[in-house]
Amino acid sequence: MNKFVYKNSSLASQHWEFCNKEKLPFITINSLDKYYSEIFYDITDIAKNLEEISESVKEIFSFYNKFFCIPGYITEKYNDQYYYFKFPVQKDHAEFVANQLFDYLNNQLSP
């Protein structure tokens, strides 16, 4: 099972249906430009504590942005989300981050 799908993939809707049916996090990667990708995740139908999980992901990626010196013009549009469901990463980190995010979210959702 893939832990993520590329947003423009022909398999995106099939992957969403699988994740929804199996109560798993749905994660996509979308290319923003030559250097950055956007990670999106959806756990709205399976999480009881959306705000708590969203805040923890936001905190993790706040440190990621600082550590990897992601410029403010890339990150600023993501900061005001009520739920922090999408965020930028360096393109060469996208697949690793998506895989790890899946594991993290799945762990957070486990009873």
Identify the pLDDT of residue 1: 79
Identify the pLDDT of residue 87: 98
Residues of the chain whose pLDDT is less than 70?
Answer: none
Identify the pLDDT of residue 100: 98
Phi, psi of 36 (to 5 degrees): -130, 150
- SS3 letters across 39-72: EEEECCCCCCCHHHHHHHHHHHHHHHHHHCCCCH
All structural domains of the chain with their residue ranges: 5-100
State the Cα–Cα distance between residues 2 and 26, nearest whole angstrom: 10
Identify the pLDDT of residue 33: 96
State the Cα–Cα distance between residues 108 and 94, nearest whole angstrom: 20
Identify the pLDDT of residue 111: 73
Identify the pLDDT of residue 47: 86
Identify the pLDDT of residue 110: 85
